[in-house]
Amino acid sequence: MANEPVASARRYPPAALIGWTARIFSASGVADESALQIAQTMVRTDLRGYRTHGMTRVASYVERYAEGDFNPRPDIRIEVRDGAIIVDSDGALGHAVAPVLQEAALKELAKRAQVFVAVRECGHLGALGIHALAAAEAGAFCMLGQRTPPLLAMEGFTEPGLGHNPIAFGCPVPGREPLVFDIACSVAARGHILIAARDGKPIPEGWAVDRRGKPTTDAREAVHGMLMPMGGHKGIGIAMMVECLAGAFTATAESLANFVSRVPAGGAVGRQSAFFWYMDPGGFSGREVFDAYTSKWTGIYEQAGGRLPGSRGEELERDGHAHGLAVAPEIERELRALGERVGVRFDLVPV
């Protein structure tokens, strides 16, 4: 779920934040082109309101690079088969992999109605909605998901039984911003719990259980415990679907041998699998019919009082470009400390 900017936050020009963040990742050994792509994706994530996956993740990603969980110089390989693409990410952060695989997928989509992309050995993709948005902006429907090590548990579980396996889709809508829907299969994203634990704040009831399977509002206990699924068994079922698409269809003998059963306390585990499913809106009944139908049902929904997912992110992004991106004080302190540590000072001037 997207979050509102913090009222006391200072605002910085998005372009300046992108430049500084790119330098941070270059200092971590990432190739300059990939560092820029990662920075652009992370800043846009924040601009769209996904606060748990934007600038707040910079320090943890740098840590993951230092610990070898992400590969700063990957050899990303793409194999095109009939109606499918297999991507060996070689441990790259997902932000660097997604644009590469999308370029290959759109090229194949020009020849057929749909393309399934199986992604192996991929680091954290961040907010999946950003990648779904990029596909929809390029004219394609895209559904994607990434499996995580087990994190979900029902009350009474003694250990997590399934990943919280985020899933998203993006769909072009004629004459306006795309639909973008992005959820994890837990009641709340783990990023919210990590932020609460860092800030020493409690979490709402129903978000998590502790390591003994008992409900907790203590964020620090929840970090070492388990997330509860949205909608009970319904959330579990959706997580299982992602496990099939992002896990089973991408599995190899090597991935089975190196199966990761727990997420590190800092989050953002490396070398996981994912899927991207691209569809050509004109590949079935024709683009005119697709557009007319999409306009009709979205119009009915809005007339009934609903707000289409993606519209709020569009407004936030426009505001961020016009007035600067709000950076919460605690995140700014973290970024300044990171900059001092790696030799890239956070000396940006607020707007």
pLDDT digits (tens, 9 = 90+) for 265-295: 455 678 899 999 999 999 999 999 999 999 9
Residue 3's pLDDT band (boundaries 50, 70, 90)? very low
The CATH number given to whatever domain includes residue 176 is: 3.30.1370.60
Q: Are 84 and 278 spatial neighbours (Cβ–Cβ below 8 Å)?
A: no
Domain co-membership, 142 together with 99: yes
Same domain, 101 and 62: no
- 220 is a domain residue: no
Q: Are 166 and 297 in a shared domain?
A: yes
pLDDT band, residue 256 (cuts 50/70/90): confident
Whether 329 and 291 map to the same domain: the answer is no
**Residue-level pLDDT at 1:** 40
Q: Does residue 281 sit within a domain?
A: yes
Give yes or no: residues 317 and 344 share one domain.
yes
Name the strand (E) or helix (H) holding 146: strand 141-146
Q: Examine the domain organization and report whether 256 and 288 are in the same domain.
A: yes
Do 20 and 87 fall into the same domain? no
Q: Which domain holds residue 16?
A: 1-67+311-351
Same domain (yes/no): 29, 143 = no
The answer to whether residue 159 sits within a structural domain is yes
State yes or no: pLDDT of 260 exceeds 90. Answer: no
DSSP letter string, 166-223: -EEEEEEETTEEEEEEEE-SBSS-HHHHHHHHHHT----TTSEE-TTS-EE--HHHHH
Asked whether residue 249 falls in the same domain as residue 104, the answer is yes
Q: Mean pLDDT across the stretch 233-246?
A: 96
For residues 158 and 137, membership in a common domain is answered with: yes
Q: Whole-prediction pTM value?
A: 0.92
Count the domains in the chain: 2
End-to-end CA distance of the chain: give it in Å, rounded.
27
